[in-house]
Amino acid sequence: METLLVLSYAAICIFIFKVFRIPLNKWTVPTAVLGGIFLVGALVLFMNYNHPHTSLGGEYYVSTPIMPNVRGKVIEVPVTPNSPLKQGDVLFKIDPTPFQAEVSRLEAQLEETKQNVLGLEAAYKAAMSTRVKAQAERDRTYQQYRRYATGYKRGAFTKADVDNREQFYRSAEASLDAAEAEERRAKLVYESNINGQNTSIAQIEAQLVKARFDLDATVVRAPTHGFVTQVLLRPGMMAVPLPLRPVMTFINTDDEFIIGAFRQNSLLRLQPGFEADVIFRAIPGRTFKAEVVEVLPAIGEGQAQAQGVLYGTDILMRQGRPLVRFKMIDDISEYKLPLGANMEIAVYSDHAHHLAVMRKILIRMKSWQNYLYLDH
């Protein structure tokens, strides 16, 4: 950029020398050179500080590695590479046979468990009836025992008769205790529940929920709006839920953002709301309006993590650049640039407004430079 400014100054000097017929001698030439050095140097220094520029910029996006939740053989890949997808669209399908079989088995087991619970209810009611019968028998034998005991005092019954009735009463009371214990056991089995539901049924239903989740996971869908590219998955391949082996990469089109890395010298001239110009190498001769959104609060090169090694002076040698996030104001959708395109960014602060004109001219000259390259 400084080279372009020097060349512009040289062109102006040549124009002045030619138009005004200024002679080239030991006074005029050094004066023009030294004047240019001081003038151009001062302008560049003030412009660079107040209106920073970076060639380290680009449009970035978030990609999601697609991994299945279950292991199985791929039977269908209906997705078309590089075509827009909506959230929930099918990416690929896994053979659902073993997962459907597990769901069917648990559904049958659930019905069987429900029938068993009905049997537990019948057993509980039967235990209640047995307890009521035993209680009635206990009361009846007790009344007989009391009558015989009273009659014995009056001489109506013998001691043996009273002892016999007492044994009947004691036996009925023991039967009642056994019936009450059986009722309590049947009630405990029948009424054992979690949130009002039988524990056996709750356990099977929890397994059934997991099985249905696995069955639903055999159809892998788009997590957000976006597209997939470079689809190499084919029917017959095994899809495995391993973090290091994603089967495809999904590009999220809702999370695009522009980042530029600036020198730390100009941090005080990078504030949210400042205007900016953006040029793309892919679109020579054009500039686009943008706006500063935020200066990211952390520089990656300065991070430190707990580990078994002490940090030395090497960590202080890392000279990172602060990252600044931008948003595009002009619409560039008509150019259909691929995500990740590189760019250069110039920011215009609210200081030294007159020098912003120079930066605007220079950034546009840089844009025209993108027509020139020697790759062959």
CA distances from 246 to 67, 72, 74, 228, 250 (A): 5, 14, 13, 13, 10
CA 203 to chain CA centroid, Å, is 30
Domain check: are 230 and 268 in the same one?
no
> Does pLDDT of 200 surpass 80?
no
DSSP string, 176-205: HHHHHHHHHHHHHHHH-EETTEEHHHHHHH
What's the pLDDT score for residue 220? 94
Q: Are 257 and 338 in contact (CB under 8 A)?
A: no
What's the pLDDT score for residue 376? 66
DSSP string, 55-105: EEEEEEEEEEEE--SS-EEEEE--PPTT--B-TT-EEEEE--HHHHHHHHH
Nearest to 218 by CA among 109, 106, 103: 103
Residue 14 pLDDT grade (very low, low, confident, very high; cuts 50, 70, 90): confident
Buried b (16+ CB within 10 A) or exposed e, 181-197: ebbeebeebbeeeeeee
Domain check: are 150 and 170 in the same one?
yes
Q: 161-165, 231-235, 312-316, 371-375: which has the minimum mean pLDDT?
A: 161-165
Instruction: Please give the Cα distance from 328 to 291 (Å, whole number).
Output: 7
What's the pLDDT score for residue 4? 67
Domain check: are 370 and 260 in the same one?
yes
Domain check: are 376 and 257 in the same one?
yes
Largest distance between two CA atoms of the chain: 163
Domain check: are 115 and 19 in the same one?
no
The 10s digit of each residue's pLDDT in 325-337 is: 999 999 988 888 8
Output the CA angle 2-292-322, nearest 5 degrees: 65
- pTM, full prediction: 0.69
> Domain holding 321: CATH number?
2.40.30.170
CA 267 to chain CA centroid, Å, is 31
> Domain holding 222: CATH number?
2.40.50.100
> Does pLDDT of 171 surpass 80?
yes
Q: Look at strands 248-261 and 53-66 and give their pairing.
A: antiparallel
Domain check: are 270 and 371 in the same one?
yes
What's the pLDDT score for residue 139? 80
Residue with tokens 């973090």: 243
Residue with tokens 């470079």: 230
CA-only gyration radius of the chain, Å: 44
Domain check: are 77 and 171 in the same one?
no
Q: What range does the domain containing 348 cover? A: 54-63+252-376
Domain check: are 296 and 357 in the same one?
yes
Instruction: Please give the Cα distance from 128 to 193 (Å, whole number).
Output: 20
Number of domains in the chain: 4
Residue with tokens 């309590």: 184
Q: Are 214 and 26 in contact (CB under 8 A)?
A: no
Domain check: are 15 and 150 in the same one?
no
If you ran DSSP here, which 8-state letter would residue 321 be given?
A: -
> Does pLDDT of 89 surpass 60?
yes
226, 245, 264 - which closes a domain: 245
Burial of 111 (0-12, 13-18, 19+ CB in 10 A): exposed
Q: Is 16 helix (H, G, I), strand (E, B) or coil?
A: helix
Domain check: are 102 and 77 in the same one?
no
Q: Are 282 and 260 in contact (CB under 8 A)?
A: no
> Does pLDDT of 194 surpass 60?
no
Supply 30's token pair: 């050094």
More confident residue, 310 or 196: 310
Instruction: Please give the Cα distance from 340 to 256 (Å, whole number).
Output: 9
* Distance spanning both ends of the chain, measured CA to CA: 25
Domain check: are 91 and 102 in the same one?
no
Domain check: are 107 and 195 in the same one?
yes
The 10s digit of each residue's pLDDT in 136-146 is: 877 888 787 77
Q: Are 323 and 307 in contact (CB under 8 A)?
A: no
